[in-house]
Chains A and B, each alone.
Chain A
Amino acid sequence: MSGFFSFARLIQVFERYHNFFFDGLKTTLYISFFAVLMGTLLGLLFAFGKMSRLKVIKGICSVYIDIVRATPLLVQVMIIYYGTLSLGWKLQPTELNAFFWGMIAVGMNSGAYMSEVIRGGIGAVDAGQMEAARSIGMSKGKAMRYVVLPQAVRNILPAVANEFVTVIKETSVLGMCGIHEIMFRSGDVASIGYVYVETYVIAACMYFILVFPVSKLVGQLERSMNKSVTR
């Protein structure tokens, strides 16, 4: 073997092991999808929790968000994975177990970040909007639903897209606890043939084809929603 990178070698690796890569891609896709979904729902929950008038709820949400944001995802994944193992909360088969708790860990992590994004978006809507809604007799809930949240969504769309992208990329640490996602599969391939650079370049391509359409899609959505804010 010679040279730091050979395109021919890359093709060779891909031809021989493409099943490994596509398997990993599929797992990464599934886990990202569910983690993003969970992150969004948790984010909403924590955002409203942190804006709650009840001090206990507010406190719990604040502590949760602070802890999650101040510790690395990998550490959180390890604690949840081995923690649930030692508690005996184990799903069968083993691979599904890893997948499930990995998804929970990433979702819980994303929820903390998402809640700050959502809270910021709501906070950025002019207070006069809420006041006007209340002044015609809307309850706080109706004012939120019909007036404030639609505007908050538009405000936070770019940040949410960023969070989606981050989640997809960060699932790469899940290989460490045995989930067969892209990085785990690439590790397999690399160690079979001792071909490292080319293998991880393929892995990079896999992430790219996942992430790039997401960011483009959100860009499009943003433009179509901009009708009410551009002259």
Chain B
Amino acid sequence: MSQGKTLIEIKNLEKHFGKLQVLKGISIDVHQGDVLAVIGPSGSGKSTFIRCINQLETPTAGQVIFEELDLTAKKVDLDKMRQKIGMVFQNFNLFNNMTVIDNITAGPIKVLGVAKEEAEKQAMELLARVGLSDKAKEYPIKLSGGQKQRVAIVRCLAMKPDIMLFDEPTSALDPEMVREVLDVIRDLAHEGMTMIVVTHEMGFAREAASRVVFMDDGVIMEENEPHEFFANPKNPRLKDFLSKVL
């Protein structure tokens, strides 16, 4: 796989919730253009890990260095850094009080200061890309899960992020809608978007990822390029896990 410049450096990341230690020292680098799939059993700390990257969870120890800035440092302007780190949530989290188009333009207009007209034009282009032009004026409640998630992805893209984080983007979807969302993510991957995807979709990890990471018990147990990862798993916990899900 091509090795672009290092975009994110994660060093000895730890997270405790009270007495429970969820992350027990995670270190990994993400390079430009990487598509990192993170798999593992529930409770292994995958979601906490990805939420620690954009500091939605504050790590207890360790560093997250994004574009040469340590996000865990006290003085860093997180709002500014988050503009470049998109995040797609399991439960979509579209703004319920806004129409689809307003959801997409909220970031560019209120955060980046883009003119309304320009933001809307860009939003319509992005909506067309995911086949939802006709839903621009709808409120999120009228959309299906798959449509909501596609809008959520577009909302991220409107900020022109350098990296996108996907936290189980298809886990809350009905089975027939998983595909439409994965197709969009796969297209983005092909276009060279750097991304970290926490997922239970093994097929997606195998085809679209450039690297696959197996997490269990708060640590990274194995990391490899997808073919080797699935063909020759080494860690016994990974072997066990794969035998259950494949």
Residues of the A chain whose Cβ atoms lie less than 8 Å from the Cβ of B56 = 131, 134-135
Q: Is B82 an interface residue (CB 8 A)?
A: yes
- Taking CB atoms, residues of chain A closer than 8 Å to B197 are none
A209 at the A/B interface (Cβ < 8 Å)? no
Candidates A129, A136, A228; contact of B83 at CB < 8 Å: A136
Instruction: Spot the interface stretch: A9-17, A53-61, A142-150.
Output: A142-150
Interface members, chain A 147-166 (any B CB < 8 Å): 147, 150-151, 154
Q: Do B141 and A229 touch (CB < 8 A)?
A: yes
A2, CB-defined interface residue at 8 Å: no
Are A137 and B79 closer than 8 Å at their CB atoms? yes
Contacts of A136 in B (CB 8 A): 82-83, 86, 106-107, 111, 155-156, 159
B95 near A133: Cβ-Cβ < 8 Å: yes
A128-B91, A150-B97, A228-B96 in contact; A142/B110 too (CB < 8 A)?
yes
Question: Are A146 and B110 neighbours in the complex by a CB distance under 8 Å?
Answer: yes
CB distance from A149 to the nearest CB of B (A): 9
Please determine whether B83 and A151 come into contact, CB atoms closer than 8 angstroms: no
**A227 adjacent to chain B (CB < 8 Å):** yes
Query: B80 touching A137 by the CB < 8 A rule?
Result: yes
Residue pair B79, A129 in contact (C-beta under 8 Å): no
Which residues on the A side are within 8 Å of B79 (C-beta)? Answer: 134, 137-139
Contacting pair A227 B139 (CB below 8 A): yes
Q: Take A131-B89, A228-B141, A231-B141 as given contacts and tell me if A137 and B111 are in contact as well, using a CB distance cutoff of 8 Å.
A: yes
Residue from B94, B96, B106 in contact with A146 in the complex, judged by beta carbons closer than 8 Å: B106
A138 cross-chain contacts in B, Cβ below 8 A: 79, 106-107, 110-111
For A139, give the chain B residue with the smallest CB separation: B79
Q: Is B205 interfacial (CB-CB < 8 Å)?
A: no
Distance in angstroms from A146 CB to nearest chain B CB is 6
Contact of B82 among A129, A135, A150 (CB under 8 A): A135
Chain A residues lying within 8 Å of B95, measured Cβ to Cβ, are 129, 132-133, 146-147
A135 to B81, CA, bound (A): 9
Instruction: Please give, as numbers and ranges, the residues of chain B lying within 8 Å of A146 by CB-CB distance.
Output: 95, 106, 110
Chain B: number of interface residues, binned into ranges: 20 to 34
Q: Check A129–B96 contact: CB distance below 8 A.
A: yes
Contact B107 A137 (CB under 8 A): yes
CB distance from B198 to the nearest CB of A (A): 15
Restricting to B64-97, which residues have a CB under 8 Å from any CB of A? 79-83, 85-87, 89, 91, 93-97
A92 contacts chain B at the CB level, 8 A cutoff: no
Most chain B CB within a 10 A radius of its CB, from A133, A137, A154, A230:
A137
Residues of B in contact with A (beta carbons under 8 Å apart) = 54, 56, 79-83, 85-87, 89, 91, 93-99, 106-107, 110-112, 139-142, 152, 155-156, 159
Q: Would you mind naming 17 contact pairs between A and B with Cβ atoms under 8 Å apart?
A: A129-B93, A131-B93, A132-B95, A132-B152, A134-B56, A135-B54, A135-B85, A135-B89, A136-B159, A137-B80, A138-B107, A150-B97, A151-B96, A228-B96, A229-B96, A229-B139, A231-B142
10 more contacts with CB within 8 A, not counting A132-B87, A228-B140, are A129-B93, A131-B93, A132-B95, A135-B54, A135-B82, A135-B89, A137-B83, A228-B97, A228-B99, A230-B141
